[in-house]
Structure 1
Amino acid sequence: MTPAALTALMQQGLRLTADWGIEVLSAADGRAVLRLPPNPALWRPGPTLSGPALMGLADVAIWAAVMASGAQEADALTANLSIHFLRPAGTAAVLAEARLVREGRRSVYAEVWLRAEHDERPCAHVTSGWLRTGS
């Protein structure tokens, strides 16, 4: 599935990804890179991108990585998500680089590094477990 096709599927299935303008930059082999453009509606006082927006972006990035794993399980579900905020993300676009760490028959374990688009330093690190709902 191309990044454009995955973006369209994501925006069709989860309205907030379209509202937020999230796009898939790349997705293959259990990895995905997504971009969240600057959006003042998602900023907290400071201003900086809010924690809930970072968590939402990370969760969607993992779903894209699951879809890019070859299984294309659109109905996979988040079982847990843990985030460590490392520094403010600021108000620039944010990139989410997700990869599947372990794929089991019924579960997936993944991680995501989040960073401002023009900054190599991460602003957050996410780990998450997912459940495969298909057979």
Structure 2
Amino acid sequence: MPAPALPVMTAPEVSAYLDEVFPQIRANGDNIEVIEVSPGNARVCLHADEQHLRPGGTVSGPTLFMLADLAAYAVILAHIGRLALAVTTNLNINFLMKPAPGALEATASILKLGKRLVVTDIAIRDANGELVAHATATYSIPPQN
């Protein structure tokens, strides 16, 4: 098995780049942070509050989907650099538990980093460390001139 890809950006660099090219992620006051980047991995945290809830008081599916997609984007940017036009081509998510409001942490891992496609695996856990959702995402990398 090949060694994991080495990151080319740190967590603060990825966060700053996201603020630069994708400020919409904070448009609703979302508290999202890239908290760690390591070889082949990135961790993203979202503090889910009232705006992220569905009827019944649990975190909504669209919020979990957004967190999975953002974690995939963060791990990819951390490993390919400042290529804002990398785009999601597929994302599949399984909702495993109904998480309560509070901290949610998504750990994204690169399964395959090719020249044109990146395949990732994302685990979303609640504040107790319980797995609440699992996703896989594929991104297309723009051609580099």
TM-score by length of 1: 0.91
User: Which residue number corresponds to residue 5 of structure 1?
Assistant: 13
Task: Point out 4+ residue stretches in structure 1 off by more than 4 angstroms.
Answer: none
User: Which residue number corresponds to residue 5 of structure 2?
Assistant: none
In structure 1, distance between residues paired with 2:65 and 2:35: 18
User: Which residue number corresponds to residue 114 of structure 2?
Assistant: 104
User: 1:90-129 residue pairs with structure 2 within 5 A?
Assistant: 90-117=100-127, 119-129=128-138
- Calculate the aligned-residue CA RMSD, in Å: 1.3
User: Which residue number corresponds to residue 4 of structure 2?
Assistant: none
Equivalent residue letter for 2:23: R
With 24-33 and 84-93 compared, the bigger mean Cα shift is at 24-33
Count of aligned positions: 133
Residue 130 (1) aligns with residue 132 (2): no
Q: Which runs of 5+ in 1 are unaligned?
A: none
Shift of 1:17: 2.2
Residue 17 (1) aligns with residue 31 (2): no
Identity over aligned pairs, percent: 31
In structure 1, distance between residues paired with 2:143 and 2:41: 20
Q: Which runs of 5+ in 2 are unaligned?
A: 1-8
- Change in CA separation of 1:90 and 1:16 when aligned onto 2, cut-off 3 Å: farther
TM-score by length of 2: 0.85
In structure 2, distance between residues paired with 1:102 and 1:132: 12
In structure 2, distance between residues paired with 1:59 and 1:115: 15
